[in-house]
Amino acid sequence: MDLQLGHSITATSRIWQIQNHKQPIRSYWRWSRQDFFPEESFQNLASYRTALLQTCFRLKDRLLSRSSVANEVFLQQRESENPLKKCLTWWDLAWMSFGSVVGSGIFFAVEIPVAGGSFSYLRVELGDFVAFLVAGNILLEAIVGAAGLARSWSSYFASMINTNADFLRIRVSHLANGFNLLDPIAAGVLLIADGIAMCGTRGTSILNWISSVISFMVILFIIIIRFIRGKTSNLVPFFPYGARGVFRAAAVVYWSYTGFDMVATMAEETKNPTRDIPLGSVGSMTMITVVYCLMALVLSMMEKNNELDVNAAYAVVFERLGMKRAKYLVSICALKGMTTSLLIGGLGQARYMTQIARAHMIPPWFALIHPRTGTPINATLLVAIPSATIALFSSLDVLSSIFSFCTLLIFSLIVVALLVRRYYVKDTTVKRDLVKFLACLFVIIGSSIGIAVLWNPNKTGWIGYAVAAFIWFLRTLGMALLPKQRVANVWGVPLVPWLPSLSVAMNLFLVGSLGYQAFLRFVICSAVMLIYYLFIGLHATYDVAHTWDLRDFTVFLVFIVYYVSSFRGIYLGSLIFYIPLVEEWNYVLSFIYFP
């Protein structure tokens, strides 16, 4: 994703001064209907009936509309009433990624995704409707991911006491399989972690990087033990389930890398996002990729693949090798890693929900920032409470498949949005080029789906794959020959459209590897999201989009002045503007300085 918004975020504090001028101080804890549904369509039954009668018209409007950079960066932030505190550097971001991804993926749990940046990106490029589908799926990801990670935490804790990972769970015989092992420990740990995250971003970040450094030392210990106790004979057969098993495992573990999107979501709390976000993400991604490969190799050499415990692999394998002290050390540090994942997830998922609430896709009450802690407590509770409930009932395998489906779909849409951003600009791209671009895009998606369809029913012939791959190559080449309408200002994806096109193909291929049950669960959840959107979300976002506030216009001008002046090396936080408010005619605010 192009990181073009970071440079303008540094003017946020000035914008808050404009937005909150003469606003009455209200309590953070309030529960009125107006706080949840302030839009015109929900003021009374008659207005709601009128809105429902206009559903088709409003849906068309939302399908064709696009948000703007100014709206996402500045205008929507007033819904939170208080700003998020800028307290993070690249060091914090790098260890956030490390703590989130390593704490989940290496110790076989489920990462909690956050992608507020991707939500805004999709809203600008693909519109409200697509952004809502992504928002719904990431809300589902956040809830399911936190629940799965908490279940894995309790498994490791139980493995320290007994070899049975379900030792501390309560079996209820009359519930369906996969939902019949109650886990109060998982629910409790999740609520505690989210409670810490609600207390403040800086303190949570410090706790995370200290714990992550300890986890990194334990990882080095495990790798050293590999040279002492590992056996190369355990690597035979090297692909016990063949290529199909590799891709199916990749599809399930894909969620681990969603922790990197955490970095973009924390941009609003980063001191210098233009520099710190790329440094934090690239640095942590390089380190974690190497660690993942080494840890997978270590585990494979220590025990045969068919003898591994899927709930607490590293702890159990050390115990079976007679290294009980090492087992406890690994278990404790695994718990540390998963705890940091829960902490960072508590931060990130709340920021994502805050941005969604700012757009009124969910009630704006969830966008409120607490004035003392500087954190979105309501948004954190939105994910924490249902996550704890699901963690109480659902097993890890049930959770991971639907989680991965959501993640893969979201990443696919982000890549599509990237291609749209590079090749289409409204009122600039000629119609002929637009038609060619859309044709190439649809064929790329179709050929990618075709490869996944051929793979899923165990088709072994190579002709079908070759034809689909050749069609994909031709259409990607055709897109490459089209003129680009935009280039990245600072940081951007290289090798466009080849790399994004390959990403679409891989994501959809992995989706096809997840199996029938994951697809069915995804369809059911998506149907529920669509019903909510047609009856609530559609009308709320339509009303907001068509309500023009004079303060919005002022803040928009401030953004334009800042954005233009930044290219000249002069920082203009704002100029003098006269805002015709209801009570008075003038309010003057001026900040001009040179960095």
Q: Which amino acid makes up residue 55?
A: T
Give the CATH number of the domain where residue 242 resides: 1.20.1740.10
Q: With a cut of 70, list the residues of the chain below it in pLDDT.
A: 1-25, 69-70, 73-75, 101-117, 226, 251-264, 310-312, 315, 327, 396-403, 456-461, 488-492, 548-595
Kindly report the CA angle at 205 between 200 and 207, in degrees rounded to 5?
A: 100
Does some domain include residue 228?
yes
Q: Report whether 5 contacts 277 (CB < 8 A).
A: no
Contact 476, 444 (CB under 8 A): yes
Rounded CA-CA distance 114/466 in Å is 37
Give the pLDDT confidence score for residue 310 in this predicted structure.
65
In a domain, 175, yes or no: yes
Give the C-alpha separation, 345 to 109, whole Å.
13
The closest of 4, 126, 153, 112 to 66, measured between CA atoms, is 126
pLDDT of residue 106: 42
Domain that holds residue 208: 65-425
Q: Using CA atoms, how far apart are residues 257 and 254, in angstroms rounded to an integer?
A: 6
Residue 30 lies in a domain: no
Judge if the upstream peptide bond of residue 237 is cis by omega within 30 degrees of 0: yes
Give pLDDT, residue 533. 93
Rounded to whole angstroms, how far apart are CA atoms 348 and 460?
42
pLDDT digits (tens, 9 = 90+) for 498-547: 989 998 998 888 787 777 777 787 788 888 989 999 999 999 999 988 87
Between CA 242 and CA 427 the distance in angstroms is 50
**What would the two tokens of residue 481 be?**
């020959």
Largest interatomic CA distance in the chain:
81
Q: Is residue 271 part of a domain?
A: yes
Q: Is residue 569 part of a domain?
A: no
Please tell me the distance from the alpha carbon of residue 35 to that of residue 25, in angstroms, as a whole number: 14
Report pTM. 0.76
Residue 201 lies in a domain: yes
First to last CA, the chain: 28
Domain count, the chain: 1
Q: Is residue 521 part of a domain?
A: no
pLDDT of residue 409: 81
Measured CA to CA in angstroms, residue 34 lies from 25, 79, 174, 246 at distances of: 16, 13, 43, 51
Instruction: State how far the Cα of 338 lies from the Cα of 332, in Å rounded to an integer.
Output: 10
How big is the CA angle at 354 (ends 352 and 360), to the nearest 5 degrees? 115
Q: Alpha-carbon distance 593 to 562, whole Å?
A: 12
**3-state SS class at 22:** coil
Please tell me the chain's helix, strand, coil percentages from 3-state DSSP, rounded to the nearest 5: 70, 0, 30
Q: How many helices (H) and strands (E) does the chain have?
A: 24, 4
Whether 434 is covered by a domain: the verdict is no
